[in-house]
Structure 1
Amino acid sequence: MQSLYEIKKAGPRVVGRHVYGNLKGCRNVEALRDPSVLEDLLRKAGEEGNMTILDVKSWKIGEGVSAVAIVLESHITIHTWPEYRFATVDVYSCGAHTDPRRAFDYIVRALDPEEVTVGSVDRSLE
């Protein structure tokens, strides 16, 4: 008989995926300036990525905005510089049921940048 401590589950014990990027030449400049628009954008991106939104906050900093969505599975952040038509986006989620790339892509479509640089990291625990 096998002990419960000897039974290993297939796949990683913790599934963590991190998608981040720079959005250059954003055509939706007004969104980059508006905290309420960005808060709504983060909520919708979280829903798109099948994440559970717990809270969303934003702060006006100069011409830009920093906003964060705390999701049950981790976080989504955006920092904007409308004077340069530039934004940075960070989506990190834990759980195989989430799709951080889908959330990231939703934000990209809304801000309509001329150029996107994207990176991703697997932050799972095997």
Structure 2
Amino acid sequence: MVRDGVRCAGAHLIVDVYGGERLDDIDHIDATLRRCVEVAGATLLHVHLHHFDENGGVSGVAVLAESHISIHSWPEHQYAALDIFMCGDTQPEACVEVLREAFSASNVAVSELLRGRGI
């Protein structure tokens, strides 16, 4: 993959969702991860999500042919942490707007790491 003129294995986005809603809704999170895969042009292999009883949070992963999208949510704090790592001909940044809209986030912070620089 070449991103911003840099050859790398893939782009890894660290995404923090603040002021989010529906972060305890496992079906909504499943649909949101699937929508992210679609808009990024990735290939979904499997989604596995776990709902925690004590706070209603959700933890899980969408496994992709191009790597993964993971989530861990703290609905009691209206916060979710996501990792979006993709290689190949994908657009991981397209997931950010899907997440912002799906969770009605007041703020979404994104950091990008280029993994395997120079390979």
TM-score, normalised by the number of residues in structure 2: 0.85
2:33 is the counterpart of 1:42 = yes
TM-score, normalised by the number of residues in structure 1: 0.81
RMSD over aligned CA atoms reads 1.5
Please list every run of at least 4 consecutive aligned residues from structure 1 whose deviation after the TM superposition is greater than 3 angstroms.
none
Identity value in percent: 32
Structure 2 unmatched runs, 5+: 1-5
SS at 2:50 equivalent: strand
SS at 1:100 equivalent: coil
How many residues are aligned here?
111
1:98-117 equivalences in 2 (<5 Å): 98-117=90-109
1:14-29 equivalences in 2 (<5 Å): 14-26=8-20, 29=21
Q: Corresponding residue for 1:123?
A: 115
Structure 1 unmatched runs, 5+: 1-10
SS at 2:105 equivalent: coil
Larger radius of gyration: 1
CA displacement at 1:90 relative to structure 2: 1.1
